[in-house]
């Protein structure tokens, strides 16, 4: 993966996608290089909005249109971008440096940026008697609102919602729907919410807080048509997969996502990836194995690094390689706010009982603090928790159950 020359001032940078990763990459590039032509091609209309807002918009009474923070026309004008909406790219020719749409149009590129995001993992529930939905964009959110409203118009009561999956998105939607007055049931084959992110006691705190809102938990079970029949809407929250189909078709190296190096380059010259579609080579300070990072802060860091890499002009020099600083994840469950810096999947270590009220630390096999979980009021200790990273766990601290 060789470093590129300076950005071509005639042939454009082409960005595929219009989510946070795509628009952030364009914005950061424009801060460094105003004259380079940029084309942004998207299957959606290109409006800019905060995707995390989808899982707490119902309680706020917001429709899909109200979640748009900047219309596409404004984004295009402010950033001097040629936006091509409602267009699916079906082929990439890395030799000719072109992309082609399904209807035969062709765009040349000097640099190509893949920011195509991730797709919901399909829920196998073919015989469900009620709508099975997932929310991964404004259109999906509008469909969920429509299904909820249709039930209320038909029955005069709030729709009963079955959420499949007790991960981050499932818990956030459970909180949002319950606050709005919907009877909510969450089904999961595990035994507790956010099991991959939280120690047992903090996970139980979240389960209890959501139960106090009326959320019912069904542990050790999977979704079924008979269970769906007891509800009005099924909301699948079993996870997302990077949308790698286009990258695989052109022969780019992929695993869970599109593999990129420390400069966001893929295995093809002058083709880059970031956001939910990317699998980063160095996503943490401790050099753990590469993986996707489907959160806002990594996207912003990657966008800045990519823009610097695309815009540099000094021959033989290159920007500093991307290194992700510790980036806690805020879980939007107002019933129990959470701030979590989870360990990398497969890392050896364990949660430690709180050294201060509500402050959980995750220590590696050498006893060094590598993560934390801050529930409720403990979220205010974020700075202190970050400062403790890299320190040794005090002797005598108990291990979490």
* Percentage of residues of the chain with pLDDT beyond 70: 91
The per-residue pLDDT for range 67-120, each reduced to its tens digit, is 999 999 999 999 999 999 999 999 999 999 999 999 999 999 999 999 999 999
- Is residue 44 located within the same domain as residue 85? yes
- Is residue 225 located within the same domain as residue 152? yes
- Look at residues 260, 276, 311 and tell me which one is the last residue of a structural domain: 311
**Parent domain of 336:** 329-387
Picking from 170, 345, 167, 175, the residue whose alpha carbon sits closest to that of residue 256 is 345
The per-residue pLDDT for range 234-280, each reduced to its tens digit, is 999 999 999 999 999 999 999 999 999 989 999 999 999 999 999 99
Query: Within 10 Å of residue 236's Cβ, how many Cβ atoms?
Result: 22
- The tokens describing 368, both together, are 């060094």
- The tokens describing 295, both together, are 């959160």
pLDDT at 110: 95
Q: What is the CATH number of the domain that holds 357?
A: 3.30.390.120
Q: What are phi and psi of 296, to 5 degrees?
A: -65, -50
Number of domains, the chain: 3
Picking from 201, 137, 130, 189, the residue whose alpha carbon sits closest to that of residue 160 is 130
- Is residue 115 located within the same domain as residue 128? no
- Is residue 129 located within the same domain as residue 168? yes
- The tokens describing 171, both together, are 């818990």
User: What is the enclosing helix (H) or strand (E) of 373?
Assistant: strand 369-375
Q: pLDDT category, 318, cuts 50, 70, 90? A: low
Q: Does some domain include residue 368?
A: yes
- Look at residues 210, 236, 262 and tell me which one is the last residue of a structural domain: 236
pLDDT at 282: 57
Q: Is 382 in a helix, a strand, or coil?
A: helix
| pLDDT at residue 365 greater than cutoff 70 | yes
The per-residue pLDDT for range 22-73, each reduced to its tens digit, is 999 999 999 998 889 999 999 999 999 999 999 999 999 999 999 999 999 9
- Is residue 91 located within the same domain as residue 146? no
pLDDT at 234: 98
Q: pLDDT category, 1, cuts 50, 70, 90? A: very low
Q: How far is CA 340 from CA 120, 241, 333, in A?
A: 23, 22, 12
Q: What is the CATH number of the domain that holds 186?
A: 3.50.50.60
Residue 368's DSSP bridge partners are 392
Q: pLDDT category, 354, cuts 50, 70, 90? A: confident
Q: Are 373 and 340 in contact (CB under 8 A)?
A: yes
In the Cβ-directed half-sphere of 125, how many Cα atoms lie within 13 Å? 26
Q: Does some domain include residue 377?
A: yes
- Look at residues 257, 285, 311 and tell me which one is the last residue of a structural domain: 311
The predicted model gives 168-178 an average pLDDT of: 98
- Is residue 195 located within the same domain as residue 132? yes
Comparing 190 with 358, which gets the higher pLDDT?
A: 190
Q: Is 204 in a helix, a strand, or coil?
A: helix
pLDDT at 369: 94
pLDDT at 6: 46
User: What is the enclosing helix (H) or strand (E) of 218?
Assistant: strand 216-219
- The tokens describing 136, both together, are 């991964």
- Is residue 33 located within the same domain as residue 58? yes
Picking from 131, 117, 159, 140, the residue whose alpha carbon sits closest to that of residue 67 is 140
As a whole number of angstroms, the distance between CA 285 and CA 257 comes to 20
| pLDDT at residue 161 greater than cutoff 80 | yes
Among 61-65, 106-110, 147-151, 356-360, the range scoring the smallest mean pLDDT is: 356-360
- Is residue 126 located within the same domain as residue 231? yes
- Is residue 60 located within the same domain as residue 164? no
The per-residue pLDDT for range 278-310, each reduced to its tens digit, is 999 854 334 444 667 778 889 999 999 999 988
pLDDT at 95: 96
Q: pLDDT category, 353, cuts 50, 70, 90? A: confident
Comparing 132 with 8, which gets the higher pLDDT?
A: 132
pLDDT at 320: 76
Picking from 52, 28, 48, the residue whose alpha carbon sits closest to that of residue 38 is 28
Q: Does some domain include residue 219?
A: yes
- Is residue 222 located within the same domain as residue 86? no
Q: Residues near 120 by Cβ (< 8 Å), separated by ≥ 6?
A: 134, 136, 236, 238, 239, 240, 241
As a whole number of angstroms, the distance between CA 279 and CA 45 comes to 26
- Produce one character per residue of 160-175: b if its CB has 16 or more CB atoms within 10 Å, e if not: bbbbbbbbbbbbbbbb
Q: How far apart are the first and last CA of the chain?
A: 45
Residues written for the chain: 401
Strand segments, DSSP code E, in 67-210 are: 68-70, 82-84, 89-93, 98-101, 106-108, 111-114, 118-120, 132-133, 161-164, 184-188
| pLDDT at residue 355 greater than cutoff 60 | yes
- Is residue 18 located within the same domain as residue 98? yes
Q: pLDDT category, 10, cuts 50, 70, 90? A: low
Q: Does some domain include residue 76?
A: yes
Q: Does some domain include residue 395?
A: no
Q: How far is CA 225 from CA 25, 125, 232, in A?
A: 43, 7, 12
Q: Are 340 and 372 in contact (CB under 8 A)?
A: yes
Strand duo 38-41 + 184-188: pairing: unpaired
pLDDT at 127: 87
- Is residue 110 located within the same domain as residue 35? yes
Q: Does some domain include residue 1?
A: no
Q: Does some domain include residue 2?
A: no
pLDDT at 86: 97
* Site of tokens 């949308």: 243
As a whole number of angstroms, the distance between CA 24 and CA 308 comes to 12
As a whole number of angstroms, the distance between CA 252 and CA 268 comes to 6
Q: Is 24 in a helix, a strand, or coil?
A: helix
Q: Does some domain include residue 401?
A: no
The per-residue pLDDT for range 186-223, each reduced to its tens digit, is 999 999 999 989 999 999 999 999 999 999 999 999 99
- The tokens describing 237, both together, are 């929250």
């Amino acid at each position: 993966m060789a470093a590129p020359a300076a950005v071509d001032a005639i042939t454009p940078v082409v960005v595929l996608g219009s989510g946070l990763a795509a628009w952030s990459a364009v914005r950061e590039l424009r801060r460094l290089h105003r004259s380079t032509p940029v084309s942004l091609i998207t299957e959606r209309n290109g409006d800019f909005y905060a995707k995390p807002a989808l899982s707490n918009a119902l309680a706020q009474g917001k429709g899909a249109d109200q979640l748009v923070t900047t219309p596409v026309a404004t984004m295009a004008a402010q950033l001097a971008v040629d936006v091509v909406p409602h267009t699916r790219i079906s082929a990439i020719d890395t030799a000719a440096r072109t992309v082609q749409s399904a209807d035969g149009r062709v765009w040349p590129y000097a640099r190509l940026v893949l920011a195509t995001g991730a797709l919901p993992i399909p829920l196998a529930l073919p015989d469900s008697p009620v709508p099975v939905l997932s929310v991964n964009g404004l259109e999906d959110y509008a469909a969920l609102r429509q299904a909820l409203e249709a039930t209320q118009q038909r029955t005069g009561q709030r729709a009963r919602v079955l959420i499949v999956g007790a991960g981050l998105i499932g818990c956030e939607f459970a909180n949002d729907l319950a606050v709005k007055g919907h009877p909510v049931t969450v089904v999961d084959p595990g035994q507790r919410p956010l099991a991959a992110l939280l120690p047992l006691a903090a996970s139980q705190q979240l389960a209890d807080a959501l139960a106090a809102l009326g959320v019912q938990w069904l542990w050790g079970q999977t979704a079924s048509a008979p269970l769906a029949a007891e509800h009005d809407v099924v909301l699948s929250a079993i996870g997302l997969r990077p949308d790698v189909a286009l990258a695989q078709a052109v022969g780019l190296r992929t695993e869970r996502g599109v593999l990129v190096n420390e400069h966001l380059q893929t295995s093809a010259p002058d083709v880059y990836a970031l956001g939910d579609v990317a699998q980063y080579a160095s996503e943490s300070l401790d050099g753990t194995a590469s993986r996707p990072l489907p959160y806002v802060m990594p996207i912003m860091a990657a966008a800045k690094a990519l823009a610097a890499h695309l815009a540099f002009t000094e021959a033989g020099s290159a920007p500093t390689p991307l290194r992700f600083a510790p980036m806690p994840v805020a879980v939007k469950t107002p019933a129990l706010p959470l701030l979590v810096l989870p360990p990398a999947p497969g890392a050896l270590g364990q949660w430690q009982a709180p050294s201060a009220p509500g402050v959980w630390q995750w220590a590696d096999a050498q006893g060094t603090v590598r993560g934390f979980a801050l529930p409720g009021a403990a979220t205010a200790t974020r700075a202190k928790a970050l400062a403790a990273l890299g320190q040794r766990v005090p002797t005598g601290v108990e291990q979490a159950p």
